[in-house]
Structures are given as C-alpha cells and as structure tokens.
Structure 1
Amino acid sequence: MSFNSESATAATSSNVSDRLALLDFKRLITQDPHKIMSSWNDSVHFCNWVGVSCSSSNGRVVTLNLES
C-alpha cells in the first residue's frame, strides 16, 4: 500500500498533525505481521519511522510504504 502527497507550506503544527495522524492510522491497523509499524512511537522522530518518508523542504509526510 502506498500513499503520496506534497504540501507547499511548512509549520510545526503540521508536523505534529502528521505524527498524530500516523499514530491514529497505526491504531486502526489490526494486523502488522512484518512489524513494520513497531518503530512508530515517540522514541524517534516520525520521519525516521519504517515506511515513512518526509519532504526534506518542509518535514511533512509525503509517502507511506507499508509493503514488506
């Protein structure tokens, strides 16, 4: 499964909303057999989570790659 989006504006609140949206998405996943989302927690920045790619210009999530 892959998602792609670009945003031209950068704001700290947007980065927080990206992190919260990813954590909400994770809560909806009932099966993660390859433990792709095991890194999705507050111990590391969400742009470093497995399967998450962020824009280098604004730090917003641009791609999710949840394939094993």
Structure 2
Amino acid sequence: MLQPLDGYSLFNIARGIAPRVIMFLPRNVDINQLADLSSSVHPPWALEVEKNFLNGKLKAITAYFSASSL
C-alpha cells in the first residue's frame, strides 16, 4: 500500500507532473517552511498563501505553487 511521505517529497513528485501544485494544509503549518520549499527548486517557484477562515476562525492554509515561467 501507499507509504506516508513528507511534504517535500510530495511537492517534488507533484511538480514533476504539473506546472502548478496546490497543497491544503493544517492551520499550524510554518509559512517560512513553505517559502523554503518553493525556493528549494531551480528555478524557484512562485508561492501564494491563502488563509481559510470559517466563522471567523482560522481553519486551514492553502499554498499555491507555480513554475516561475508561467
């Protein structure tokens, strides 16, 4: 069956398939780690972070990664 993978491995697999990657993450994710992840590839990918609120409370974070050439 499928083995658990860390976010870095999943990101690298997904970027090999598509020019854009979207990750739906828990609210306590470190935004600086997302920035490090987007800059860890050559050339660095663009990153946009969206905070998802429900009834005024932060519930999740969505990270949008895209190849810089797009």
TM-score class normalised by the smaller sequence = 0.3 to 0.5
Structure ID, larger Rg = 2
What is the TM-score with the length of structure 2 in the denominator? 0.40
What is the TM-score with the length of structure 1 in the denominator? 0.40
Q: Structure 1 or 2: larger strand share?
A: 2
Q: Structure 1 or 2: larger helix share?
A: 1
Higher RCO by CA contacts (8 Å cutoff, separation 6 or greater): 1
